Structure 1
Amino acid sequence: MVKTSGVTDAPRHRWRGVAFFRRSLLILFVLGQTAVACYYLLWVLPYHGGTWLELGMTALFAILYAWIAIGFWTAVLGFVLRLIGGDRHALLRRHSSEALADTPLAKTAILLPIYHEPVHWTLSGLKAVYRDIERTGHIEHFEFYILSDSRDPNVWLEEQATWHALARELGAEGRLFYRRRPVNLNYKSGNVADFLRRWGRRCKYMVVLDADSLLSGETVVRMVRLMEREPGVGILQTNPTIINGQSLFARLQQFANRFYSTLFATGLAAIQMGDAAFWGHNAILRVEPFMKHCGLPKLPGFGIFGGPIMSHDFVEAAYMGRAGYEIWLETGLGNSFEESPPTLADELSRDNRWAKGNLQHLWVMLREPGLRFAHRMAFLNGIMAYVASPLWLGFLILTTVEAARMTLSPIEYFPEGRVGLFPLWPEWRPEWALSLALTTLSLLFLPKFLAIVDAVLHRYARKYGGFLKLFASVLLEIVISVLLAPVRMWAHSRFVVGALLNLSLTWAGQNRTEETTWREALVTQLPGMLLGGFWSAFAWSLDPLFFLWSLPVAIPLLLAAPTAVFLSRTGPGSYLRDRGLLSIPEELEAPLPLLEDARRFRAAEAGDHLLSPFEQAVLVPRLNRLHQALARNHRRGPRRAELEASVHRCLNRGAESLSSGELSFLARDRASLEELHAGAWRAPDNSYWGQCIGRKNRPQGPL
């Protein structure tokens, strides 16, 4: 165990016993309920599990039902704990507000890893976080690091210019830093590792943000103080709230996150306790043990189980736990925010990457020694988030085969696998099937209505527009979730197969504004639409009753393209917001200074749009000097002739004549930037650079 000088070990030992009891109770409820459900299913099936096909259906059903039951009982536990006043074993309950306020702060780094994000929008969010920490009066304890992995020169040149302007505006020289890695290795975890190798020993803690993260100054200060009071804690994770949804899809996501997480996050934190997961952002980490124990190896296997780990956060939490440190999810911290993908297409694009990363965790879960059982279960839960879809698809396929066999083939009185002299008579129990379906649906939807009960009991329904609007919002969210479930099932099934085949993926910044076009929706959703139509037609040919049973899956697949387009529109989202539906407290109450700052900073003019960042780096004297100061001298290396040729071509034929890699190489060379600046200003008026100068001199805003 980690030594905790100045803090008693007693609470740390007590929580493990409480966690063991809670987890055992959860397992008992889940397995018991699953056993009863499987018993019902066996009696619903014609041969009561007497064939290999029915045994396969029962096995898939058991896995899926147990996974759903875990979520159900987690929400129930959250409801019960809130009913009795909260979890008295939570980390924040150990310390009074006065004790926390008297705790000195330690040097903390705020990290913002970025990769091809909207520059003005992203750094305006960091500016809001900086200002909010400044309002606490403790800014001297914090340093800020923008860690870029961007490869496009027009992106990273804009990042450098915006960072420099922001540091001057905030008076944050020597406190706000920017670094772009010349070589992009190991994704986001490699970016953070690069920071730790260079500057890790400067700070005791680091707070990791995402490009869309907003974390209030008071929350950051409390996190640092809580870490100071709890030396045995290696990672402290907040529960981020989704905000700023504009499209109907994003508003649905933010409502579900904000409203349902009250129960789910409370229950999850109570089950995990000091063995919580790390979600990669909006969290504070103890730097020294993280550097010592959380370095990620390359997987030694084959296919997706070889090479760098894509989804690093769960693995880092497991390694931190293996080293004896605790990882806590603290729902009481609050004021932690992020944003949702604005469209279904963007969510599925993100899920495609996450599916591959989560499947890699199977190797870590099975092969890494010394990991805590809770972290292995966290890996399994993350894997099931995507594997559940092909399992569900497999269950539907087996059900279709069973229906086809019962319709097209003669009854088998002695089915394959049957042992004995007496025939097996097929039986149908439709009333049992209906009961089983209703109980399964209750596992999915009852927690949503428990959240309404919780809102009424704790009198916060008015924060969502009042009881009636809250109830209507929940019903609307349920209807659309039902429509989206088969679409996600089909997409995730393809992602899992693609990941297992180790198909290559592109990693890009997230779309935050664009709506889905009809062309894009039809191209991406057409395979699922064809599948839904074919399956429904086949079900009709077999049996009208089976056709009706297939409709809840087939209809959403057939409507996938119009659903994706409609949900991506901001008009329906605005319409519902104006009527108080799908609203969240952050919209109906006076906004926090952090959120108001972020909105105002992001809405401000981003600068000149007539010239590309590369053109500005060449022409604008101030920016040219800045980029020269950040560049290096590459003329002494073997590529001098290549640089000189690229400069000559750029001056004579313009930046459009060079590839992105060539432009990036020029922008990283000090002498090339100097030559380009001097040559461009001497260019004739009718040349490429002469026309750029003409656009620059138009009165279109500050450069």
Structure 2
Amino acid sequence: MSLAETILPGSRIRTGAIPWRCSGWLAVFIALTTLGTAAVVAVVAAAVEEWSPATGLALALVTPGALWVSGGAATAILGCLRKPPPPPAVPDDWRPKQRTAILVLLCGEAADPLSSYLAGLRRQLAAQGLAEATTVFVLSDTHEAVRIADEEAALAPLIAAGTVVYRRRSERTGHKPGNIAEWLAARSDGFTYMLVLDADSRMSAGRIRALMHRIETEPGLGLLQAGIARVRGRSLFGRHQRLSGRLLSPHFGRGLAAWSGKAGNYWGHNAIMRIAAFRSAAALPILSGPRPFGGTPLSHDFVEAAWIRREGWVVALDPDTRGSAEDGPQTLADFHRRDRRWCQGNLQHLRLIGEPGLDPVSRLHLALGIIGYLAAPVWLALMILVASDAVAIQGVLPLLAIATILMLPKLCALGHWLLRARTRRRQRLILRAGLHELAVSTLVAPLVMLRQSGAVLSVLAGRDCGWKRERPRALALPPWLPEVASGTGLLALGAAAGSASSLPWLLPVALPLLGAPLLQRWLERGA
């Protein structure tokens, strides 16, 4: 059966690759990103005291780093320029004509919180008139005996009541994508749409209803990704992530939706999609050769979005985070572990970005994911060149230029919220929250840069992290040892070079690295 034959009766959609046209928002994004990158490179070049091969290398390294931060700033500016769209109006008497499967993917996570959430969600769905139009499937890949027992005990009341349909695979072929593909092959008959949630995802029935209404009334829409907030964190680090999301997400999401247009992205969960559209992406490409660059793509969601768009379907982003959330890492160790897997997955996209027929904006999403991780070792290499005095930068203007571009998303967010504040007390709260977010982000950024640099080098060296659980090491070293060693090394290089001009560049990076033991303990309180 062709794709055109599987969509709603009476609707039409162009299948196959579609002609591409650069939208106005995308043109503005490209122009702003180019302008920001050129400005940083020009300012750094003008501040070079003496040209040498090392200076040329430094300038070459500045370019991708500046491209990454300028892209983030451009997205934030677009979000400020674009007015928030009005919330979608769903008629009170609307009832879906087609059925939606709500797929909850579970792999070893605690099942008790999920069970409580799903029991409440079923009651909400019934109150919204969606009981007959939705079925909740819990698709488990849990394989440890103790966790399986806990999972089955937690979900048993829901299974007995018919609240959820539970299935646990004995063979975890293909991991999460394979789990969904198996459901598609065996259980998708009778469903037109599927909404994907992770075990730590939380969506309200009202938001699910709005997504269902939109995808049913837009026949060309293949995938609709909802904006995602953070649930309340248990540690200071978790609360910081939530605060950052609340401050930065509204305008950043609007900017991303603006320049992405009909070729948006998919983040793996909190999204609804047309099953007919997703079938074109369910069979992920298997990359030849050994891991880490071979095998099934780890960051499969970007690839699935690109494949769906290649077939002519619209992939859209609804940036509103209301009624859509997820939990996040509560410790730096958990954050780095997840980020390491994402790093490998994004670098695998180097082998997919040239696939024929992809929408140019889909290629841009893949490219930005790659650059986002390569930027970390780029900045670290620049720090080493500056610390060793191999590159002498005159004055602080280049540092101020980079800091200004880095600050633009935060300034956009601060302006957005201050304009909405109606009282001085509210304005003070916003300013205090903004300063707190800036301070913690500034302290954490060098730690993330160092670990991402290590992750990139690990992938390039051929080390695979895959979906494996971390095994305890025979020799337990302090988790902050790489940070302290790197901070000490940077300051030692600067001291040996004897260049005072490098201090403004080194201190904001080296001091948080040296303070990693105290910083980690402070951030993880309550985790």
Structure 1 505/66 Cα, relative in aligned 2: closer, same or farther at 3 Å? Answer: closer
Whole-Å Cα distance in 2 between the matches of residues 127 and 559 of structure 1?
Answer: 44
Following superposition, the deviation at residue 66 of structure 1 comes to 1.6
Which residue identity does 2:375 align to in structure 1? A
**Which residue of 1 is the match for residue 287 of structure 2?**
299
Residue type at the aligned position of 1:321: R
The worse-fitting range, judged by mean Cα deviation, of 37-46 and 301-310 is: 301-310
- Counterpart residue number, 2:496: 541
Q: CA deviation at 1:81?
A: 1.3
C-alpha spacing 1:438/1:404, structure 2 compared with 1 (3 Å): closer
Q: Which runs of 5+ in 1 are unaligned?
A: 407-427, 511-518, 572-703
- Give the residue type in structure 2 aligned to 1:534: G
Is 1:43 aligned with 2:35?
A: no
| Unmatched tracts of structure 2, length 5 or more | none
Q: Which amino acid aligns with 1:441?
A: A
Structure 1 residue 325: deviation in Å? 0.3
Deviation at 1:25, TM superposition (A): 2.0
Deviation of 1:534 after TM superposition, in Å, equals 2.2
Aligned mates of 2:426, 2:446 — CA distance in 1: 31
2:31 & 2:202 partners in 1: Cα distance? 39
Letter in 1 for 2:431: F
Q: 1:595 is matched with which residue?
A: none
Contact 2:13 2:219 in 1 (8 A): no
Percent identity between the two aligned chains: 31
- 1:30-429 superposed matches below 5 A: 30-47=33-50, 50-82=51-83, 86-87=84-85, 96-98=89-91, 102=94, 104-168=96-160, 171-172=161-162, 176-332=164-320, 334-366=322-354, 368-401=355-388, 403-404=389-390, 429=394
How far off its partner does 1:37 sit? 2.4
User: Residues of 2 paired with 1:561 and 1:500: CA distance?
Assistant: 28
Secondary structure, in 3 states, of the residue corresponding to 1:74? helix
What is the one-letter code of the residue matched to 2:144?
D
Distance 2:201 2:422 in 1: 25
Which residue in 1 is equivalent to 2:454? 494
Q: CA deviation at 1:486?
A: 1.0
Aligned partner of 2:111: which letter?
V
CA distance in 2 between partners of 1:115 and 1:439 (Å) = 45
In structure 2, distance between residues paired with 1:382 and 1:480? 24
Task: Please tell me the residue identity of whatever aligns with 2:182.
Answer: D
Matched AA of 1:553: V
**Which residue, 481, 485, 491 being the options, matches 2:441?**
481
SS in 1 for 2:480: helix
**How big is the shift at 1:142?**
0.8
Residue number in structure 1 paired with 2:420: 458
Check whether the contact 1:243–1:338 (CA below 8 A) recurs between aligned residues: yes
Distance across 2 between alignment mates of 1:296 and 1:325? 17
Distance 1:186 1:238, change over 3 A: same
Closer/same/farther in 2, CA of residues 460 and 295 from structure 1, 3 Å limit: farther
How far apart, CA to CA, are the structure 2 residues paired with 1:448 and 1:105? Answer: 43
Q: 1:476 to 1:70 in 2, by over 3 A?
A: same
1:441 aligned to 2:403?
yes
Superposition RMSD on alpha carbons, in Å? 2.7
Aligned mates of 1:231, 1:473 — CA distance in 2:
42
Matched letter for residue 508 of structure 2 = P
Q: How far apart, in 1, do the equivalents of 2:423 and 2:233 lie?
A: 20
Deviation at 1:278, TM superposition (A): 0.3
Q: Which amino acid aligns with 2:401?
A: T
**TM-score after normalising by structure 1:** 0.69
Q: 1:9 to 1:154 in 2, by over 3 A?
A: closer
Larger radius of gyration: 1
**Higher relative contact order, structure no. (Cα contacts within 8 Å, ≥ 6 residues apart):** 2
Shift of 1:470: 1.7
SS in 2 for 1:306: coil
CA distance in 1, matches of 2:368, 2:79: 18
Shift of 1:452: 2.0
1:655 is matched with which residue?
Answer: none
Distance in 2 (CA, whole Å) between partners of 1:141 and 1:267 is: 33
Change (3 A) 1:461 1:270: farther
Cα distance, 1:341 vs structure 2: 0.8
3-state SS of 2:132 partner = helix
Name the one with the larger helix percent. Answer: 1
